[in-house]
Homo-oligomer: A and B are copies of this chain.
Amino acid sequence: MKFNAKMQDIKNYEAGKPIELVVREFGIEPKDIIKLASNENPNGCSLKVQEAVSKIISKMALYPDDSMLGLKKALSKRFDVEDDNVIIGSGSDQVIEFLIHAKANSNSKILMNSITFAMYEIYAKHVGAQILRTSSQEHDLEEFYKLYLEEKPSIIFICTPNNPTGDAIEAVKLFEFVKKIDSDTLVVVDGAYMEYALAKDASKEVKPKDLINQFDNVIYLGTFSKAYGLGGMRVGYGIADAKIIKELYKLRPPFNITTLSLEAATVALEDEEFVNKSVVDNFNEMKRYEEFAKEQKIDIINSYTNFVTLCLNSSQKSSKVADLLLRKGMIVRDLSGYGINAIRVTVGTKEQNSRFFELASKIL
């Protein structure tokens, strides 16, 4: 059977290896496996969320309220925007899917950073769009602008803080950049890790409200998968001018998040204490990674997220290091596929991080 020509160019996203897979592949006991590969919240999720979800377990047979009004109201209140500025996705991934399918096609170009979240490229290929990348590791907005002028992309992705490198750009500079972009180019500001960035350095905070008040060609993306501790529940959101949201809604399939996910996300927004503690714990533990990198004489990228990127010396291959760690039951992300000799490690619990240092110090 023949499929669309574009299919030949599409590869699968390689997710962080789940614990279940390591159990199967290496026969390691689940209790001996630590996964620091998918930037999940090591504090788990809010107890209030757990209680709320437990109470509605019997409602699994019922479709969710497809208007999602409760969650949309909670989000619009949280970000001081209107309900019609918000769209909910099955993870912010799905909002990326909507916007690429709404705006791009096989004649379009999509501009993104040299190293950035893999799903932008994957969804771009789904519509056969051409992918343009800058050359520098960090977001260089001057280079972005130069390429924008030369190539006239339909969509520009800015990921801040950036995944998988952890660096973030100054909010002021982002606003200056967007100001120069014409109103028919969609600028996507992916703030999946923004809760961490704003706590570490207020100058990195990009407020969705400020963005959409100034620009009608920008969409801000957020997620419940990181600081809110709901990676397994698949809830993300986009915030933009109502005209953009209305268009994306056309591509949203009904019931795109589960009944339990809807409850979980709504209650999670009420428990800011959990988020704040997660962020504080994260940066306390991150200091240990910074010390570890110094001891090991390897570079660590200044991170505004819940992960650290360790840039290895040329004598060590990141793929080899990640594999050796994996065989000891420690799952981290090798970034060689992104073109850098580095591993990305989620900042885990105190015990998980200690175990990482113990194992990594023998390997590095």
Partner-B contacts on A (CB < 8 A): 1-4, 7, 10-13, 15-16, 18-21, 24, 35, 38, 40-41, 43-45, 49-50, 53-54, 57-67, 69-70, 90-91, 93-94, 97, 101-105, 119, 122, 126, 183-184, 186, 216-217, 225, 229-234, 243-244, 247, 249-261, 264
- Specify which of A101, A230, A250, A260 lies most central, judged by the most chain B CB atoms within 10 Å of its CB: A250
User: Are B229's CB and A21's CB within 8 A?
Assistant: no
User: Are A230's CB and B15's CB within 8 A?
Assistant: no
- Contact residue among B16, B122, B258 (Cβ-Cβ distance under 8 Å from A261): B258
- In the assembled complex, the Cα of A7 lies from the Cα of B103 at a distance in Å of 9
A24 and B69 in contact, given A15-B255, A94-B253 (Cβ under 8 angstroms): yes
Q: In the assembled complex, which residues on chain B have CB atoms less than 8 Å from the CB atom of A15? A: 63, 66, 254-255
- Contact residue among B12, B102, B233, B243 (Cβ-Cβ distance under 8 Å from A250): B12
User: Are B1's CB and A216's CB within 8 A?
Assistant: yes
How many copies of this chain does one complex carry?
Answer: 2
Q: In the assembled complex, which residues on chain B have CB atoms less than 8 Å from the CB atom of A19? A: 65
Q: In the assembled complex, which residues on chain B have CB atoms less than 8 Å from the CB atom of A49? A: 60
- Specify which of A7, A21, A105, A253 lies most central, judged by the most chain B CB atoms within 10 Å of its CB: A253
- Contact residue among B13, B217, B230 (Cβ-Cβ distance under 8 Å from A254): B13
User: Are A61's CB and B250's CB within 8 A?
Assistant: no
